Structure 1
Amino acid sequence: MSNQISRRTLLTAVPASGVALALPTDAQTATPIQRLYEQWLVLWDEVENLSADDQIDRATDRLIALENQMIELPSQCTADLAAKIAAYTRWGDCPELPQPGGLLWEELRMQIARS
C-alpha cells in the first residue's frame, strides 16, 4: 500500500494552508489563465461541501480539465505561472506532478532562463 495521497483524496480534504492565490478581479485585465484559475478556485471551494462519490468524481474531472487548460496556455506574466503551479500542485500538496518533460516544467525553465 502506498503512502501517497491521490488527487481525489486531496480534493476532499480542506486545504492545509487555507490561503488562496489572489489574482486581479477585473475581467478586462485578467488573463485567460487567471480567468481559468478563478473558475478553478470556485470549484475547489465547492468540492469541500460534496459528500457523494459521484459528485466528487465529476467535480474532480472538471478541476483536472481546468488545470490542463491552464497548463496548455502560455503564461503572460508571473501571476499566470503562479496560478498554474498553485492549481496543478494543490499548493504543493499533490504528489501527482507532471513528468519532467511536461509543459509546466518547460515553461519554468524558460522563465528562469529569461531572468
Structure 2
Amino acid sequence: ISNIRDIKQTLYYEFNRKFLKRSRPEIWDKVKKFRKLYNSISKKGYDYKRGYMVLSEDGVRLDGSHRGAIVEHLKYEDIIILMVRWEDCFKKKQLGKLYSHINDQKKKYKI
C-alpha cells in the first residue's frame, strides 16, 4: 500500500472509518507508523527495548498486537513473550466485568 487510494480498498480502512470514526489523515498516519515499525523489525530484528508482546495466562493479547503481526509475517520462530495474570493487572472488582465481557465475546464469535 503506497498511498491513501490503495488503502481505501482494505478492511482496515473501512473498520477505522466506520467503527472508530477516524479521519483519512489519521488512518494514513497509523499506516505509516506500522510500516515504520515493520521496516525496523525487518531490518534490525525485534528490539525488546521498544516493548514486549504481553499476553494473559489464557492467551489474550494485552500489548504488542502490531509487533506480533509483524513477527508472524516475517516468520519468526522464537520470540520472548511476557505472560501476566489478570489479577496482577486489574483490581478485583474490574475482573468480574472483564471476564464477563470476554465470555460474551467468546459466545458471540463461537470461540
TM-score by length of 1: 0.31
TM-score by length of 2: 0.31
> Which protein is bigger by CA-based radius of gyration?
2
Which structure is higher in RCO with an 8 Å CA cutoff and minimum separation 6? 1
